[in-house]
């Protein structure tokens, strides 16, 4: 099992797999399973990030946000994306699953961060998966938190994830779409072959 002692923003990476990942690899605090007629999904909130696995019959795409690289499998890895800059990535897997994600680390002033932090906590009270990590709070700072919100439709799952780093006054946001149908142009097609690439 892998877990960061304290979530490290500089080491955060987003991994995209064309396979599910075993729960034994992670410390899972909260989870949600979604069952729809055309697909299934699992959402895991972990101390250092999150994992979303989307299944359509025998095909699957997994999005993993974590600051740990060790113990992660190479098999099925499509892409490893650094999060120090804005990320925009999309891929089509065997014309069965269409996936796109964008992510951004938002740096704020102390006053703005505190306001956004409080608003996010209120918003998360009755939505999705939310957890505050008091044991990781730096002295004199708010506690880090993770929050996953989602919207499910007949042929699409939208996932909105937020990870707060109060000691750096940074909110790491990711917005992902897992779809059974194309939702935009420019998907990079992949099959069971070499790794994909980030959209330039």
Domain boundaries, the chain: 9-190
Whether 4 has a pLDDT exceeding 80, the answer reads no
Cα–Cα distance between 29 and 40 in angstroms, integer? 20
Q: Which of 52, 57, 43, 65 is nearest to 95 (CA)?
A: 57
The pTM of the whole model exceeds 0.85: yes
Q: Do the beta carbons of residue 101 and residue 112 sit within 8 Å?
A: no
What are 82-136's pLDDT values in tens digits? 887 788 999 999 899 999 999 999 999 999 999 999 999 999 988 999 999 988 8
Q: How far, CA to CA in Å, does 6 sit from each of 15, 17, 21, 93, 187?
A: 19, 25, 22, 34, 35
Write down the pLDDT at residue 136.
82
């Amino acid at each position: 099992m892998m877990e960061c002692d304290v979530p490290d923003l500089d080491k955060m990476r987003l991994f995209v797999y064309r396979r599910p990942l075993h729960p034994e690899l992670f410390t899972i605090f909260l989870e949600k399973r979604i069952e729809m007629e055309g697909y299934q999904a699992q959402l895991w909130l972990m101390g250092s990030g999150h994992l979303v696995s989307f299944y359509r019959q025998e095909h699957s795409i997994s999005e993993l946000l974590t600051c740990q690289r060790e113990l992660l499998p190479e098999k099925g890895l499509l892409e490893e994306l650094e999060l120090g800059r804005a990320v925009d990535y999309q891929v089509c897997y065997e014309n069965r699953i269409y996936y796109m994600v964008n992510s951004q680390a938002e740096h704020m002033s102390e006053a703005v961060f505190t306001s956004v932090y409080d608003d996010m906590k209120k918003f998360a009270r009755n939505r999705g998966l939310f957890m505050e990590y008091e044991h990781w709070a730096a002295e004199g700072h708010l506690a880090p938190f993770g929050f996953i919100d989602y919207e499910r439709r007949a042929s699409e799952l939208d996932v909105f994830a937020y990870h707060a780093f109060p000691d750096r006054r940074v909110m790491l946001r990711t917005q992902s779409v897992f779809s059974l149908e194309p939702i935009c142009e420019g998907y990079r097609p992949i099959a069971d072959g070499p790794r994909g690439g980030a959209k330039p």
